[in-house]
Structure 1
Protein backbone atom coordinates (compact mmCIF):
# COMPACT_ATOMS: atom_id res chain seq x y z
CA UNK A 1 0.00 0.00 0.00
CA UNK A 2 1.20 3.51 -0.79
CA UNK A 3 2.13 5.94 1.94
CA UNK A 4 -0.49 8.54 2.88
CA UNK A 5 1.09 11.40 4.77
CA UNK A 6 -2.09 13.05 6.01
CA UNK A 7 -5.36 11.74 7.40
CA UNK A 8 -8.46 13.93 7.64
CA UNK A 9 -11.91 13.52 9.14
CA UNK A 10 -13.10 11.78 12.25
CA UNK A 11 -14.22 8.25 12.83
CA UNK A 12 -17.34 7.33 14.75
CA UNK A 13 -16.94 4.81 17.55
CA UNK A 14 -17.98 1.29 16.60
CA UNK A 15 -17.93 1.84 12.83
CA UNK A 16 -15.52 0.04 10.53
CA UNK A 17 -14.26 2.25 7.70
CA UNK A 18 -13.83 0.65 4.29
CA UNK A 19 -10.70 1.82 2.44
CA UNK A 20 -11.47 3.19 -1.01
CA UNK A 21 -8.65 4.08 -3.44
CA UNK A 22 -9.59 7.44 -4.98
CA UNK A 23 -8.17 10.11 -7.26
CA UNK A 24 -8.91 13.81 -7.67
CA UNK A 25 -7.67 16.41 -10.10
CA UNK A 26 -6.83 20.04 -9.69
CA UNK A 27 -7.35 21.94 -12.95
CA UNK A 28 -6.59 25.67 -13.05
CA UNK A 29 -7.78 28.18 -15.63
CA UNK A 30 -5.46 31.19 -16.00
CA UNK A 31 -4.13 30.44 -12.50
CA UNK A 32 -7.15 32.31 -11.13
CA UNK A 33 -9.93 29.73 -10.95
CA UNK A 34 -10.05 25.98 -10.48
CA UNK A 35 -12.59 23.40 -11.54
CA UNK A 36 -14.96 22.06 -8.90
CA UNK A 37 -18.04 19.91 -9.25
CA UNK A 38 -21.26 20.99 -7.60
CA UNK A 39 -22.97 17.74 -6.66
CA UNK A 40 -26.64 17.51 -5.76
CA UNK A 41 -29.77 19.47 -6.58
CA UNK A 42 -30.88 23.07 -6.12
CA UNK A 43 -31.59 22.64 -2.40
CA UNK A 44 -28.95 20.11 -1.22
CA UNK A 45 -25.50 20.20 -2.73
CA UNK A 46 -21.79 20.20 -1.95
CA UNK A 47 -18.55 20.96 -3.80
CA UNK A 48 -15.68 18.57 -4.53
CA UNK A 49 -12.61 18.46 -6.69
CA UNK A 50 -13.46 16.34 -9.75
CA UNK A 51 -12.62 12.70 -9.12
CA UNK A 52 -13.68 9.54 -7.38
CA UNK A 53 -12.97 5.86 -7.00
CA UNK A 54 -10.28 3.96 -8.86
CA UNK A 55 -11.71 0.96 -10.73
CA UNK A 56 -10.10 -2.49 -10.68
CA UNK A 57 -7.13 -2.71 -13.06
CA UNK A 58 -7.05 1.04 -13.61
CA UNK A 59 -4.01 3.21 -12.85
CA UNK A 60 -4.43 6.37 -10.79
CA UNK A 61 -3.66 8.50 -13.87
CA UNK A 62 -6.25 6.64 -15.98
CA UNK A 63 -8.82 7.03 -13.21
CA UNK A 64 -8.39 10.81 -12.90
CA UNK A 65 -8.83 11.23 -16.69
CA UNK A 66 -11.99 9.06 -16.64
CA UNK A 67 -13.45 10.71 -13.55
CA UNK A 68 -12.87 14.23 -14.93
CA UNK A 69 -14.70 13.29 -18.13
CA UNK A 70 -17.61 11.67 -16.27
CA UNK A 71 -18.06 14.49 -13.75
CA UNK A 72 -17.25 17.59 -15.82
CA UNK A 73 -17.24 16.65 -19.52
CA UNK A 74 -13.68 17.99 -19.72
CA UNK A 75 -10.74 16.07 -21.15
CA UNK A 76 -7.61 16.42 -19.02
CA UNK A 77 -4.10 15.04 -18.88
CA UNK A 78 -2.41 14.33 -15.53
CA UNK A 79 0.69 16.55 -15.37
CA UNK A 80 1.99 15.37 -12.01
CA UNK A 81 0.99 13.84 -8.72
CA UNK A 82 0.65 16.49 -6.01
CA UNK A 83 0.14 14.53 -2.80
CA UNK A 84 -1.82 11.79 -1.04
CA UNK A 85 -4.25 11.95 1.86
CA UNK A 86 -6.91 9.90 3.58
CA UNK A 87 -10.40 11.25 4.34
CA UNK A 88 -12.79 9.55 6.77
CA UNK A 89 -16.43 10.18 5.81
CA UNK A 90 -19.80 8.49 5.41
CA UNK A 91 -20.36 7.74 1.71
CA UNK A 92 -24.03 6.93 1.01
CA UNK A 93 -24.34 5.44 4.49
CA UNK A 94 -21.07 3.48 4.26
CA UNK A 95 -18.21 4.48 6.60
CA UNK A 96 -15.35 5.12 4.17
CA UNK A 97 -11.72 6.14 4.26
CA UNK A 98 -10.96 7.59 0.82
CA UNK A 99 -7.26 7.01 0.25
CA UNK A 100 -6.85 9.76 -2.32
CA UNK A 101 -4.14 10.65 -4.78
CA UNK A 102 -4.31 14.27 -5.94
CA UNK A 103 -3.08 15.26 -9.40
CA UNK A 104 -2.46 18.54 -11.12
CA UNK A 105 -4.16 18.12 -14.49
CA UNK A 106 -3.99 20.10 -17.72
CA UNK A 107 -7.11 20.88 -19.72
CA UNK A 108 -6.82 19.40 -23.23
CA UNK A 109 -10.43 19.68 -24.51
CA UNK A 110 -13.56 21.45 -23.34
CA UNK A 111 -16.30 19.80 -25.40
CA UNK A 112 -18.72 17.49 -23.72
CA UNK A 113 -21.00 17.50 -20.75
CA UNK A 114 -21.00 15.55 -17.50
CA UNK A 115 -22.26 11.97 -17.70
CA UNK A 116 -23.41 12.11 -14.10
CA UNK A 117 -26.67 14.10 -14.06
CA UNK A 118 -26.27 15.52 -10.54
CA UNK A 119 -22.79 16.97 -11.28
CA UNK A 120 -22.21 20.51 -12.54
CA UNK A 121 -18.83 21.96 -13.49
CA UNK A 122 -18.11 25.30 -11.80
CA UNK A 123 -14.98 27.45 -12.07
CA UNK A 124 -14.22 28.99 -8.69
CA UNK A 125 -11.52 31.43 -7.53
CA UNK A 126 -8.85 29.48 -5.65
CA UNK A 127 -9.42 31.23 -2.31
CA UNK A 128 -13.16 30.57 -2.54
CA UNK A 129 -12.57 26.91 -3.50
CA UNK A 130 -10.56 26.39 -0.30
CA UNK A 131 -13.70 27.24 1.69
CA UNK A 132 -16.30 25.55 -0.55
CA UNK A 133 -14.98 22.00 -0.83
CA UNK A 134 -16.63 19.64 1.64
CA UNK A 135 -13.60 17.50 2.49
CA UNK A 136 -10.62 18.80 4.46
CA UNK A 137 -8.33 16.62 2.32
CA UNK A 138 -9.45 18.52 -0.79
CA UNK A 139 -8.84 21.89 0.86
CA UNK A 140 -5.38 20.71 1.96
CA UNK A 141 -4.56 19.57 -1.60
CA UNK A 142 -5.62 22.95 -3.02
CA UNK A 143 -3.63 24.82 -0.37
CA UNK A 144 -0.53 22.67 -0.99
CA UNK A 145 -0.80 23.32 -4.74
CA UNK A 146 -1.27 27.06 -4.17
CA UNK A 147 1.70 27.33 -1.79
CA UNK A 148 3.94 25.42 -4.19
CA UNK A 149 2.95 27.66 -7.13
CA UNK A 150 3.54 30.79 -5.03
CA UNK A 151 6.99 29.59 -3.95
CA UNK A 152 7.90 28.64 -7.53
CA UNK A 153 6.76 32.02 -8.85
CA UNK A 154 8.87 33.82 -6.25
CA UNK A 155 11.90 31.75 -7.26
CA UNK A 156 11.55 32.83 -10.92
CA UNK A 157 11.68 36.57 -10.20
Structure 2
Protein backbone atom coordinates (compact mmCIF):
# COMPACT_ATOMS: atom_id res chain seq x y z
CA UNK A 1 0.00 0.00 0.00
CA UNK A 2 1.71 3.20 -1.19
CA UNK A 3 0.14 6.51 -0.22
CA UNK A 4 -0.53 9.16 -2.82
CA UNK A 5 0.84 11.79 -0.43
CA UNK A 6 3.22 11.22 2.50
CA UNK A 7 3.60 13.59 5.48
CA UNK A 8 6.24 13.52 8.20
CA UNK A 9 9.82 12.31 8.12
CA UNK A 10 10.69 8.74 8.94
CA UNK A 11 13.36 8.35 11.61
CA UNK A 12 16.41 6.62 10.13
CA UNK A 13 16.54 2.97 11.09
CA UNK A 14 13.00 2.87 12.51
CA UNK A 15 10.65 0.16 11.26
CA UNK A 16 7.29 1.86 10.68
CA UNK A 17 4.11 -0.19 11.02
CA UNK A 18 1.87 0.50 7.99
CA UNK A 19 -1.51 1.15 9.57
CA UNK A 20 -4.68 1.57 7.49
CA UNK A 21 -6.56 4.49 9.03
CA UNK A 22 -9.44 6.85 8.41
CA UNK A 23 -10.32 10.31 9.72
CA UNK A 24 -13.42 12.47 9.48
CA UNK A 25 -14.34 16.08 8.99
CA UNK A 26 -17.67 16.99 10.61
CA UNK A 27 -18.77 20.61 10.45
CA UNK A 28 -21.37 22.30 12.66
CA UNK A 29 -22.01 26.03 13.16
CA UNK A 30 -18.97 26.86 10.98
CA UNK A 31 -16.66 24.81 13.20
CA UNK A 32 -14.98 21.43 12.78
CA UNK A 33 -15.14 18.53 15.23
CA UNK A 34 -11.71 17.74 16.68
CA UNK A 35 -10.51 15.80 19.68
CA UNK A 36 -8.24 17.20 22.36
CA UNK A 37 -6.14 14.28 23.52
CA UNK A 38 -4.73 14.66 27.02
CA UNK A 39 -1.54 12.64 27.40
CA UNK A 40 1.94 13.83 28.46
CA UNK A 41 1.56 16.84 26.17
CA UNK A 42 -2.04 17.55 25.07
CA UNK A 43 -2.67 17.76 21.32
CA UNK A 44 -5.50 18.02 18.77
CA UNK A 45 -6.43 15.43 16.15
CA UNK A 46 -9.29 14.84 13.76
CA UNK A 47 -11.49 12.05 15.10
CA UNK A 48 -10.64 8.70 13.57
CA UNK A 49 -7.97 6.07 13.69
CA UNK A 50 -7.05 2.54 12.68
CA UNK A 51 -9.15 0.40 10.37
CA UNK A 52 -9.50 -2.90 12.27
CA UNK A 53 -9.71 -6.34 10.66
CA UNK A 54 -12.19 -6.50 7.81
CA UNK A 55 -13.71 -3.08 8.50
CA UNK A 56 -14.20 -0.62 5.67
CA UNK A 57 -12.94 2.93 6.16
CA UNK A 58 -16.55 4.03 6.65
CA UNK A 59 -17.21 1.40 9.33
CA UNK A 60 -13.98 2.32 11.14
CA UNK A 61 -14.85 6.02 10.99
CA UNK A 62 -18.30 5.42 12.51
CA UNK A 63 -16.76 3.30 15.31
CA UNK A 64 -13.91 5.73 16.01
CA UNK A 65 -16.25 8.74 16.24
CA UNK A 66 -18.37 6.97 18.87
CA UNK A 67 -15.31 5.79 20.84
CA UNK A 68 -13.59 9.19 20.83
CA UNK A 69 -16.51 11.64 20.98
CA UNK A 70 -19.83 9.84 21.54
CA UNK A 71 -20.96 11.16 18.15
CA UNK A 72 -22.82 9.02 15.61
CA UNK A 73 -21.82 9.99 12.07
CA UNK A 74 -22.64 9.08 8.50
CA UNK A 75 -19.64 9.18 6.13
CA UNK A 76 -20.64 11.09 2.99
CA UNK A 77 -17.63 11.56 0.73
CA UNK A 78 -13.96 10.53 0.71
CA UNK A 79 -12.16 13.76 -0.19
CA UNK A 80 -8.51 12.88 0.26
CA UNK A 81 -5.93 10.22 0.97
CA UNK A 82 -2.62 10.73 2.70
CA UNK A 83 -0.14 9.09 5.03
CA UNK A 84 1.54 10.41 8.19
CA UNK A 85 4.69 9.13 9.86
CA UNK A 86 4.52 9.53 13.65
CA UNK A 87 5.26 7.80 16.92
CA UNK A 88 2.40 6.61 19.09
CA UNK A 89 2.39 7.63 22.75
CA UNK A 90 4.16 4.33 23.57
CA UNK A 91 6.95 5.24 21.11
CA UNK A 92 5.93 2.77 18.39
CA UNK A 93 6.69 4.15 14.90
CA UNK A 94 3.56 4.12 12.73
CA UNK A 95 2.64 5.30 9.25
CA UNK A 96 -1.11 5.96 9.13
CA UNK A 97 -2.32 5.51 5.55
CA UNK A 98 -5.88 6.18 4.58
CA UNK A 99 -8.79 8.35 3.71
CA UNK A 100 -10.23 11.59 4.96
CA UNK A 101 -14.02 11.71 4.86
CA UNK A 102 -16.64 14.42 5.05
CA UNK A 103 -19.18 13.05 7.52
CA UNK A 104 -22.53 14.19 8.86
CA UNK A 105 -23.35 14.29 12.57
CA UNK A 106 -26.49 12.24 13.23
CA UNK A 107 -26.49 12.25 17.05
CA UNK A 108 -24.30 13.16 19.99
CA UNK A 109 -24.38 11.13 23.21
CA UNK A 110 -21.25 11.78 25.34
CA UNK A 111 -22.11 8.75 27.51
CA UNK A 112 -21.18 6.48 24.55
CA UNK A 113 -17.59 7.80 24.47
CA UNK A 114 -15.08 5.23 25.75
CA UNK A 115 -11.70 6.97 25.36
CA UNK A 116 -11.31 8.98 28.57
CA UNK A 117 -8.29 10.93 27.29
CA UNK A 118 -10.23 12.25 24.26
CA UNK A 119 -12.48 15.31 24.48
CA UNK A 120 -14.69 16.60 21.66
CA UNK A 121 -13.88 20.22 20.83
CA UNK A 122 -15.26 22.41 18.04
CA UNK A 123 -12.57 24.52 16.39
CA UNK A 124 -12.80 27.18 13.72
CA UNK A 125 -11.14 25.67 10.62
CA UNK A 126 -8.31 28.26 10.72
CA UNK A 127 -7.64 27.35 14.36
CA UNK A 128 -7.66 23.67 13.43
CA UNK A 129 -5.10 24.34 10.67
CA UNK A 130 -2.74 25.80 13.26
CA UNK A 131 -3.44 23.37 16.13
CA UNK A 132 -3.80 19.89 14.60
CA UNK A 133 -0.88 17.65 15.52
CA UNK A 134 -0.50 15.95 12.14
CA UNK A 135 0.31 17.81 8.94
CA UNK A 136 -1.88 15.31 7.04
CA UNK A 137 -4.89 16.37 9.14
CA UNK A 138 -4.24 20.08 8.55
CA UNK A 139 -3.79 19.39 4.84
CA UNK A 140 -7.18 17.60 4.72
CA UNK A 141 -8.86 20.59 6.41
CA UNK A 142 -7.17 22.96 3.93
CA UNK A 143 -8.26 20.74 1.02
CA UNK A 144 -11.87 20.90 2.25
CA UNK A 145 -11.69 24.70 2.71
CA UNK A 146 -10.42 25.16 -0.86
CA UNK A 147 -13.20 23.07 -2.46
TM-score (norm 1): 0.88
1:103 Cα deviation from its structure 2 partner: 0.4
> 2-side partners of 1:28 and 1:131: how far apart?
17
> 2-side partners of 1:90 and 1:136: how far apart?
14
Task: Report the equivalent of 2:35.
Answer: 37
Task: Report the equivalent of 1:74.
Answer: 71
> 1-side partners of 2:97 and 2:62: how far apart?
18
Task: Report the equivalent of 1:86.
Answer: 83
Task: Report the equivalent of 1:7.
Answer: 6
**Could you say what secondary structure the match of 2:20 adopts?**
strand
Residue segments in structure 2 that go unaligned for 5+ positions in a row:
none
Task: Report the equivalent of 1:132.
Answer: 131
1:110 Cα deviation from its structure 2 partner: 1.5
Task: Report the equivalent of 1:52.
Answer: 49
1:69 Cα deviation from its structure 2 partner: 0.6
- The C-alpha deviation readout for 1:48-95, integer Å capped at 9, x for no partner, is 000010100111100000000100000000001011101011112111
1:103 to 101, 104, 111: 101
| Pair member with larger Rg | 1
1:12 Cα deviation from its structure 2 partner: 1.0
RMSD over aligned CA atoms reads 1.2
Task: Report the equivalent of 1:152.
Answer: none
Aligned residues: 145
Residue segments in structure 1 that go unaligned for 5+ positions in a row:
149-157
1:100 Cα deviation from its structure 2 partner: 2.3
- Structure 1 runs (4+) deviating above 3 angstroms are none
1:111 Cα deviation from its structure 2 partner: 2.1
